[in-house]
Amino acid sequence: MKGKAKIRVGVLGATGAVGQRFVQMLQGHPWFELSVLCASQRNAGRRYGDACNWLLRGDMPAHLQDIVLEEMGPGIDCQLVFSALPSGPARTMEAELAAAGYVICSNASAYRYDPDVPLLIPEVNPEHVEMIDGQRRGRGWPGFITTNPNCSTTHLVSALHPLHEAFEVRKVFVVTMQAVSGAGYSGVTSMDIIDNVVPYIGSEEEKMERREPQKLLGRYDGTAVQAADFVVSAHCNRVPVRNGHLAAVSVEFARRPSLEDVRRAWAEYEPLPQRMGLPSAPEQAILYREEADRPQPRMDRLAGSVPGMATVVGRLREDPLFHVKFLTLGHNTIRGAAGGSLLNAELLVSQGYLDAGDEDAGSRMPVADAILDGVR
Amino acid sequence: MKGKAKIRVGVLGATGAVGQRFVQMLQGHPWFELSVLCASQRNAGRRYGDACNWLLRGDMPAHLQDIVLEEMGPGIDCQLVFSALPSGPARTMEAELAAAGYVICSNASAYRYDPDVPLLIPEVNPEHVEMIDGQRRGRGWPGFITTNPNCSTTHLVSALHPLHEAFEVRKVFVVTMQAVSGAGYSGVTSMDIIDNVVPYIGSEEEKMERREPQKLLGRYDGTAVQAADFVVSAHCNRVPVRNGHLAAVSVEFARRPSLEDVRRAWAEYEPLPQRMGLPSAPEQAILYREEADRPQPRMDRLAGSVPGMATVVGRLREDPLFHVKFLTLGHNTIRGAAGGSLLNAELLVSQGYLDAGDEDAGSRMPVADAILDGVR
Amino acid sequence: MKGKAKIRVGVLGATGAVGQRFVQMLQGHPWFELSVLCASQRNAGRRYGDACNWLLRGDMPAHLQDIVLEEMGPGIDCQLVFSALPSGPARTMEAELAAAGYVICSNASAYRYDPDVPLLIPEVNPEHVEMIDGQRRGRGWPGFITTNPNCSTTHLVSALHPLHEAFEVRKVFVVTMQAVSGAGYSGVTSMDIIDNVVPYIGSEEEKMERREPQKLLGRYDGTAVQAADFVVSAHCNRVPVRNGHLAAVSVEFARRPSLEDVRRAWAEYEPLPQRMGLPSAPEQAILYREEADRPQPRMDRLAGSVPGMATVVGRLREDPLFHVKFLTLGHNTIRGAAGGSLLNAELLVSQGYLDAGDEDAGSRMPVADAILDGVR
Amino acid sequence: MKGKAKIRVGVLGATGAVGQRFVQMLQGHPWFELSVLCASQRNAGRRYGDACNWLLRGDMPAHLQDIVLEEMGPGIDCQLVFSALPSGPARTMEAELAAAGYVICSNASAYRYDPDVPLLIPEVNPEHVEMIDGQRRGRGWPGFITTNPNCSTTHLVSALHPLHEAFEVRKVFVVTMQAVSGAGYSGVTSMDIIDNVVPYIGSEEEKMERREPQKLLGRYDGTAVQAADFVVSAHCNRVPVRNGHLAAVSVEFARRPSLEDVRRAWAEYEPLPQRMGLPSAPEQAILYREEADRPQPRMDRLAGSVPGMATVVGRLREDPLFHVKFLTLGHNTIRGAAGGSLLNAELLVSQGYLDAGDEDAGSRMPVADAILDGVR
């Protein structure tokens, strides 16, 4: 993108927790320029600094305070839209915007399971972007919608991907221990979680068992995604942790790998975003920890060269029932939400779906800095 | 035990966390009279009130404060000994005492896996007490040792027992979320667990996978225990919860039960301790919760008629890989430790292994009161 | 109340956190019979078991599940009404009910500061019930309203009362560390309080500094309460604790007491509810702990013979600036809310304000049991 | 220090929590080069990577893993020594090293209260370095010892300093809510602090009341420090927070300031380290937050341009008993421990007490980066 103007982007639902992460991660982005902040009708017209209870550490960047929140809709001045809307409003608004020509990178679940909408993890299934043409044709939209998966699915499937490529996943047992931020700022009251675990998260197990992993690891045949053929059993739990979803995973493959095979598959994993150096892609997509007691949410949720964007794995060992067992950990509101959509957008640019090319101009550092700023 | 003198009992390791639970649960016990408190050499000779940092809620019962701690050894004045020793000292001391004629109900792991030592859950395998005769003969001991399983195993196997009876367990996948008290008072530093999960507990997975469930559910053939034939895969985690081990469990059986079959097996479960009304046995050994989000550690760890002695199950549903999945929860320092040994002792009395019979004199209430006192 | 019918009572706001405590504490009450559960219009007509998300440990008592919630208003069938309403609705509804002849014991702040409404702690200012006659006359109500103070004020003033009697309080510094339940079930989100302290509680400092302690310790001269003449400086903080408000207090008196004087004033304290043996009054109103590190919320919030109804003090020492410093601790949703209103009601009965006399029939135990049941 | 060699420094107690912070903060330091890591005899000879359980987030810097730990003593190859020793060993070893010519910047309390040893906060009393000459003469040491205060005192006195300069502090009432890391890695067990507050920290109140603030704000008259003349009353509490000590403070001055006066005194505060641009000095020593509910430990403990080195204040308001009240917050293991010693060392360099001058070469960034690295 040398010498080119940045792509103007907007954020829907900018005052919420995920919306704030979008805003934070877009600070100093080499390709994108944050131009429009949209909020609900109630907040439209107010200053961002007034309407938004900034939840991230550090202060809201000063230059954002005076931006006036706009109402969502086809009039907004940008090319690309990041959506942090709840599922209901997302279903309507994202369609309306795509019909008006906008490109949508959505964190909402509204369109994730539609057969013509790509559910993307750029490391895992970048070729699913090809579904976009069919989507546009089929729906008659000049714009289009892409989505990223649920926060728990993201890191599970990221860890499984190189193993699936090499040994073909057949059965997956997964038990999650998920952070409270996954339910949103007010989602888990302190009365429920102090000195406690809540072993239930509404519709989470369905997403992990049937709706997302098989689509993500499926093959796009030019017409439709052929879902990958494996079975997942998921137990989802909420634990007293602020950020970072941990999961205990046991896997059976079509071809039994040795532990060394698995370790090597992770170590040698170098998917597209890393090869292309997309700005928000961490140098290593999967980080393996050797210690007996890692990964841990507080220690590892911001690991890697772009904090919060990598998946951390550890405790690889033989499984008495299946083949191997291990742990996965990842940041749920960075890679598991806003960061997932952002990397999707970078993938779209790199694949020519947004007219602003020349991705080699990208530098990872501004993104890393923006996040760390929030970490302080 | 109408009209009979109570059995005099001692506690080894009385100042520690498990030792204090023994002391607490023995207050007002209808069959046992706490006669001797033993501590390490360092503390022998001191008042219990001075040497012991009482960790349970409520005050140390006043009449215990002035008891002088004794040194462990064959001289102590009691018939039955509860052992809250660490594994190393337990190995030596428990043998020494059994050789001197004492009956040992031990919470230590030292002898759990010895083929002639019963590993008991009175609801599950009361007939394993018959191993005692062989143990005495083989070792030439006038006394003998019995043990209870690890805190995590206890509640898993308790929940599985009626299902194993009816449908025969073949494969078990279990992920625990264990309370910090399982590691002892100083076992988990606050620096490690605030806003965190530690996905590792030394040697816990081995115990749950290979060493305990198969012995507990095995059949005693008059000579040895034939281990039950099923495979367990365990992932053990430490979560920021004080008391109560929660476990997510998936099970495959020899004969596939419906969910209703499983529910009925739990509902109709009425094992020996309940039928005999042993003083520390809760009216229902297994409590099933109907809510979508239960059991929860803080809400359910003291459920049942004798607080902390029951196993609570919930969230029963079909498992996509095995047959059923569900949650188990139980108190780790009550039933999972001291309470386990205490119920073993009551079983021994009821089976005539301790000369004080007449178990129908037992009333549950004093035990419940003693625990609740601690709960305040 | 031997041989007399129990007084029929109702609870306003029965589905909320404080409402549930009322319901819990009224189980088996020797004088009161829970007859009416009222909820908002939205929930009226529903079964209590369906409308209420039971937050207390243990199950909702089975016989309550089928009670049909009624709409609040003058038609309800009871004599005495406990109000767990928010301040706004309380202002309207409590007046309406008092005008219709009901006796109101309210936990709401709506009428606390009205000069003709008694703000009561039965141990501290039972004679303030005499304000009731003036209230009835002045407002022309056949019924009347009494209130209990804020959860933080309650335990501070309880601890100060015997000292004020003996040495006259002049200056009080108090810094609270308050439990999350003080803000209601959804009041504090887990995102705000994990690994954190929130040093602000809306309008709490005003209540503690100016509005409540001086009225509570004031003298009723037959016409009005002459506010006690001392100054309070309060800093109020929210800490990651479920129940139990802890406060660090420094006090200066008109007459400097020795530490021994203070200890004796607490030890010899035997106010009216204790002398009369009111059912919900703990045997000792103030419990002094000798340990260097007590009281602690988790250890001491349920101390005393009626769990949660006593005030626990400790760490008494000389203050370099004032005279003495110490800690106070008390349960905020038991004595600090529902239990405060309940004891007020018992005071009213004992003083003849409710036609059901004969208080010596009262036994403490049912109340204690009901609470402990919830504690499991 | 342009063109000059860096000063070679060592760390005593390098494997502990404070020792690790020293190591972390010295990475890339513009003036100091970490040359020697010392540990207890037990660990001497081992690799740092093997002997040290790295507690900070992120990995131990790779180049440190192979450094061989040395035994403490006069043979170590460095000029300046940072001491993270416990008080007992510090008393002996620091004297031995000073006698051998080393400069000691100690975080231990061993020498803090000796009348010839400077207790330094470079923003507050940099002129106390002049005590060094007397110390050397009096003790006959070629080297010397400087100390930094306790973690709680540091931030209290930092916030008071500009107010003391302007209005003269007379009375201070302070209640701390301190993080668990203040007690060291294993100092607070999780059993004690989950769902709890421990209202006692051994000898902490003495340090805050009598031993440190008056010396820090005292005047050095060329011979001795004349302690400042004010009285402090302190209540110290441990709360379930990992890092960051929060304190509620009320102050009376010789001259009553308006709130605006206080705010201005903080805003205009520009002490020596900031004017000189010492590498570890944050641009603003005191940060004032305007929000009603700040500072908060999790949100603000790493505020400022050098994370963890600033003191954050907020909630300034009139005090009913004294003049003003407010909150202070600061990072206890950065500025309150290792960072305090490090800034002392930088002060010594800038004042010519270590032969390596030219402080304007200093850049803040490497220090900030090193800390943030740990923060991930």
In b/e form, how buried is each residue of C189-203, taking b as 16+ CB within 10 angstroms? bbbbbbbbbbbbbee
Band the pLDDT of C362: cuts 50, 70, 90.
Answer: very low
pLDDT at residue B56, as a whole number: 87
Please give the Cα distance from C74 to A91 (Å, whole number): 47
| Of the partner residues D194, D303, D376, the one whose CB lies closest to the CB of residue A303 | D376
Homologous superfamily in CATH for domain D7-149+335-375: NAD(P)-binding Rossmann-like Domain (3.40.50.720)
> Quick one: average pLDDT of C225-243?
98
Q: pLDDT tens across A261-300, in order?
A: 999 999 999 999 999 999 999 999 999 999 999 999 999 9
pLDDT at residue C209, as a whole number: 97
Tell me the H-state helices in A41-147. 48-51, 87-99, 131-139
DSSP-derived letter for residue B326 is E
| Of the partner residues C58, C194, C376, the one whose CB lies closest to the CB of residue B195 | C194
Band the pLDDT of C265: cuts 50, 70, 90.
Answer: very high
Please give the Cα distance from B54 to B23 (Å, whole number): 11
Q: Is D120 helix (H, G, I), strand (E, B) or coil?
A: coil
As beta bridge partners, residue A233 has: A173
Which chains, if any, share at least 3 CB pairs under 8 A with chain B?
A: A, C, D
Give catalytic status of residue C245 as yes or no: yes
What are C227's two structure tokens?
């506010």
What are C208's two structure tokens?
């503690």
Tell me the H-state helices in D277-323. 297-300
The nearest CA of chain B is from the CA of C40 a distance in Å of 24
CA trace torsion A47, A48, A52, A58 (10° rounding):
-130
The complex scores an ipTM of 0.94
Q: Is B4 helix (H, G, I), strand (E, B) or coil?
A: coil
pTM: 0.94
Please give the Cα distance from A131 to A149 (Å, whole number): 16
Average pLDDT, chain D: 93
Which chains, if any, share at least 3 CB pairs under 8 A with chain A?
A: B, C, D
Phi, psi of C132 (to 5 degrees): -60, -40
Which chain C residues are Cβ-neighbours of A193 within 8 angstroms?
A: 190, 194
Nearest C-alpha in B relative to C293: B53
Which residue type does D237 have? N
Which chain A residues are Cβ-neighbours of D195 within 8 angstroms?
A: 194-195
Which chain B residues are Cβ-neighbours of A198 within 8 angstroms?
A: 293, 296
Interface residues on C facing D, Cβ-Cβ cutoff 8 A: 171, 173, 175, 177, 194-200, 209, 231-233, 235, 237, 239-242, 246, 248, 250, 292-299, 314-315, 319-322, 325, 327
Which residue type does C304 have? G
Please give the Cα distance from B344 to C225 (Å, whole number): 63
pLDDT score of A15 more than 50:
yes
Listed as ranges, residues in chain D with pLDDT below 50 are 1-2, 357-367, 373-376
Best mutation target, C305, C371, C376, to test chain B (most B CBs within 10 A): C376
What are D235's two structure tokens?
């209540």
Asked whether C36 and C109 are in contact (CB, 8 A), the reply is no
Give catalytic status of residue D105 as yes or no: no
Per the listing, tokens 């989950």 go with D194
From first CA to last CA, the distance across chain D in angstroms is: 31
Other C-beta atoms closer than 10 Å to the C-beta of B115 total 12
Q: pLDDT tens across D41-58, in order?
A: 999 999 999 999 998 877
Other C-beta atoms closer than 10 Å to the C-beta of B53 total 11
Q: Is A33 helix (H, G, I), strand (E, B) or coil?
A: strand
Percent of chain A surpassing pLDDT 70? 93
| Count of CB pairs separated by less than 8 Å, C with D | 121
Out of B151, B161, B164, B331, the active site residue is B151
Residue B20 to residues A254, B48, B190, C303, C348, Cα–Cα distance (Å): 52, 11, 22, 19, 43
| Of the partner residues C190, C195, C240, the one whose CB lies closest to the CB of residue A189 | C190
Out of C151, C161, C236, C323, the active site residue is C151
Which chains, if any, share at least 3 CB pairs under 8 A with chain C?
A: A, B, D
Listed as ranges, residues in chain B with pLDDT below 70 are 1-3, 356-376
Nearest C-alpha in D relative to C200: D293
Strands C32-39 and C7-12: parallel
Q: pLDDT tens across A352-365, in order?
A: 998 754 434 334 34
Closest CA to D175 of D262, D263, D252, D245: D245
Q: Break chain A into its structural domains and give their ranges.
A: 7-149+335-375, 151-331
Helix (H) or strand (E) holding C133: helix C131-139
The nearest CA of chain D is from the CA of B217 a distance in Å of 33
The more confident residue out of A247 and D364 is A247
pLDDT score of A1 more than 80:
no
Q: Tell me the Cα Rg of chain D.
A: 20
Which chain A residues are Cβ-neighbours of B328 within 8 angstroms?
A: none
Residues 6+ apart with CB under 8 A from D1: D30, D31, D356, D357, D358, D359, D361, D362
Q: Which long-range contacts (CB under 8 A, 24 or more apart) does A200-204 make?
A: A200/A236, A200/A237, A200/A238, A200/B292, A200/B293, A200/B315, A201/A176, A201/A236, A201/A237, A201/A238, A204/A150, A204/A152, A204/A176, A204/A178, A204/A234, A204/A236
| Of the partner residues A195, A299, A376, the one whose CB lies closest to the CB of residue D195 | A195
Closest CA to B69 of B96, B90, B94, B42: B42
Question: Can you list the positions of beta strands (E) in chain B?
Answer: 7-12, 32-39, 70-71, 80-83, 103-106, 144-147, 169-178, 219-220, 225-226, 231-238, 245-253, 286-289, 311-318, 324-330
Q: Is C83 helix (H, G, I), strand (E, B) or coil?
A: strand
Nearest C-alpha in B relative to D17: B191
Residues 6+ apart with CB under 8 A from B74: B96, B97, B99, B100, B102
Phi, psi of C37 (to 5 degrees): -115, 120
What are B148's two structure tokens?
């209870």
- The domain C151-331 having CATH identifier 3.30.110.70: the answer here is no
What are C240's two structure tokens?
């990651």
Nearest C-alpha in A relative to C242: A191
Dihedral of alpha carbons C178, C182, C185, C186, sign = negative
Could you tell me the fold of the domain covering B7-150+335-375?
Rossmann fold (3.40.50)
Burial of A169 from C-beta contacts in 10 A (0-12 / 13-18 / 19+)? buried
Please give the Cα distance from B24 to B14 (Å, whole number): 10
Asked whether B316 and B294 are in contact (CB, 8 A), the reply is no
Nearest C-alpha in C relative to D177: C197
- For every residue of D192-222, DSSP letters joined together read HHTT--B---TTHHHIIIIISHHHHTSEE-S
Please give the Cα distance from D332 to B342 (Å, whole number): 46
DSSP-derived letter for residue B337 is I
Please give the Cα distance from B303 to B368 (Å, whole number): 11
Contact D177 C233 (CB under 8 A): no
Asked whether B121 and B112 are in contact (CB, 8 A), the reply is no
Contact A320 B199 (CB under 8 A): no
The more confident residue out of C15 and A365 is C15
Burial of B30 from C-beta contacts in 10 A (0-12 / 13-18 / 19+)? middle
pLDDT at residue C3, as a whole number: 53
pLDDT at residue A375, as a whole number: 41
